[in-house]
Chains A and B, each alone.
Chain A
Amino acid sequence: MTEPRTLYEKLWDSHVVAEMPGGASLLYIDRHIVHEVSSPQAFVAMRESGRRLRRPETHLGVADHAVPTRSRGGEIPDPQARAQVAELEGNVAEFAVPYADLEGPEQGIVHVIGPETGFTLPGTTVVCGDSHTTTHGAFGALAFGIGASEQGTVMAVQALPQARARTMKVELVGKRHALIDAKDIALALIAKIGSHGAVGHAVEYVGEALAGMAMSERMTLCNMTIEAGSRMGLVAPDEVTFAYLKGRRLAPKGAHWDAATAYWRTLASDPGAAYDKVVTLDLSAIEPQVSWGTSPNQTLPIGAAVPDPQAIADASERRETEKALAYMGLTPGAPLTSVAIDHVFIGSCTNGRIEDLRAAAAIVRGRAVAQGVRAIVVPGSAATRAQAEAEGLDAVFTGAGFEWRFAGCSMCVAMNDDRLAPGERCASTSNRNFEGRQGPGGRTHLMSPAMAAAAAVSGHLADVRDFA
């Protein structure tokens, strides 16, 4: 009788190459996604040391962070972005890395196309020079973000020294209300445990609610896990996972598919497996969430008012609140629904999937973007964009006054020309409300796609339940 193990422990145990002196383990890396912004220095290191990629087929390259989304094809206007994409294209050609061409059907945000192509699979280790690599944990993969130096190591040796994480179980109990999205659940969790509440832990989401969640929602949960400080979010693979993956280009086929699904079914945490920490979240108590500050834990239900620092006893929390309110230009005590917005951004690796666009379109249909608001929809991938167009969602958005863009990270990271001017305020489906994240001086409110759509048609932060 072996000790019951968690999903994380099974993934960990099945990837240990060797124990290293000093306590770290050398962990085998199955998959690596490469984008234009974090990879150049890793390729330089490979070239300078004369190394080759150990297994080029286990890497996948794509340009997403800096690419323009207004048009696709032709020369990229920004010379720095143009050079960066050209450098990636040169690197993937030189090192024989499979590449999703910028103008091709598989281009998109790393964390959207990994799953869409079947590159991301249960039971694997997945890394990328991007902190939101947590997303892939939704498939029961051990997936985490790494730095450029580590990327170079993975390219050369297909392994990384890692310290074993502690485990945290997040139990989702109760039934959520209609229009409560995975994004609301994620934000409520971060507000509850804090922006560093899960540091050092691999977070596994469990509970009956998971069974009813599409892969897109599970990805949203795992994606946002980094905003609670954890490098890894996890959901055990099940029939929903298998149905999503079956037939994808890089998913196993034929006899391999049968063997793979049999293997994947063994990954779920064993009954009685112990976690270092357990957090319970009652979904029935969650209302639509909106962030008001400059850290994702600074989030409240939409019916609440802007916090008043004077009412906060803890000196450190009071100082953090004052700092955030000053940056955000908010008045203590004002209802959140009174906060007027300038921009709306629907997209990102958090909420740029087809289900997200459908949820937003359902609110937008038959309504118009409020006067003075600029609203953009940036699909997470070329495939998502094509699917949305096949369903007529693009027409719903453009008919209401939204701009309909090509795939990329866009206004989630503001590395292309999609960015806020200083002082402008945005209702955003992205993952970070950090200072300057959407452009220097820009102000970000995080929320679900349906909530962002409600804000777009209202001209101010709004409660999506008023639009049902």
Chain B
Amino acid sequence: MPAQPFTTVSGRAAVMREENIDTDIIFPARFLLITARAGLGEYAFHDRRFDGSGAEVPGYVLNTAPFRDAPVVVAGANFGSGSSREQAVWALVGRGMRAVISSSFGEIFYSNCLRNGVVPILLSEDELAVMMDAAETGAAFTVDLEAQELRVEGLPTRTFEVPAERRLAMLNGWDETDQIVNQYGDEIAAFERGQRGIQPWLYPEEHDA
């Protein structure tokens, strides 16, 4: 499914000064019983935003006026670790969060971001600390995927990298499956012919026939 094309996102950045914000925190498992992928924004960080009675937790960054609608997250190391659930990313998108900045990411989460129009930006621990301080003052963040630039009010512009393939796909809203079908159909068929010769036992459909 093609994601919305991404060019730039601008706004404030919500700071989460903790490590290991896993996908269970971003999207608690009990909401995985919902099979839709739209409308999940209301469950993002649910158990951090709300207490057991459903009341907002005062002081939590996403419950605090200037950061309630922040389109950028700046978080401690290992953000998005744990479960592969793509709902974690759909929930961010549902809240309008289109860029996440950390010093390391869960790898499956990172990959899911790039397939849903969310830009993950990797920084060193030191740079991350600077970004967190700036974000907490309410500085404006701009993530420009075309130029691969992170521009933060009051700080020098910094470039970042995402995988080239994914960047193009995000800028153009291309569907990955279509791309592979169109560009690699013959190569896939050729691979299968070769593999069938070496590992014929991997083709059960032929043995059962």
Contact = CB atoms under 8 A, between A and B. Distances in A.
Interface string A195-217: 11001100000000000000000
A413 B29 contact: yes
A17 B185 CA distance: 10
B107 A229 contact: yes
A440 B28 contact: yes
Interface stretch (A256-264, A347-355, A379-387): A256-264
Contacts of A257: 201
Nearest to B32: A37
Contact of A26 (B18, B180, B202): B180
The size class of the interface chain A forms with chain B is 35 or more
Interface in A155-178: 156-159, 161, 163
Given A57-B204, A415-B33, A26 B108 contact: no
A153 B164 contact: no
Contacts of A159: 180, 184, 188, 191
Interface stretch (A2-10, A315-323, A360-368, A454-462): A315-323
A230 to B, nearest CB: 8
B78 A195 contact: yes
B66 interface: no
Contact of B165 (A21, A38, A158, A199): A21
Nearest to A131: B84
Given A41-B37, A147-B115, A435 B25 contact: yes
Contacts, number: 206
The size class of the interface chain B forms with chain A is 35 or more
Contacts of A316: 19, 76
Given A26-B184, A149-B1, A157-B184, A434 B176 contact: no
B87 to A, nearest CB: 8
Contact of B84 (A14, A84, A146, A413): A146
Residue with the greatest number of chain B CB neighbours at <10 A, chosen from A229, A294, A413, A422: A229
B63 interface: no
A41 B185 CA distance: 24
11 contacts: A28-B192, A45-B177, A51-B177, A54-B188, A121-B202, A131-B83, A161-B180, A163-B163, A196-B78, A256-B201, A434-B22
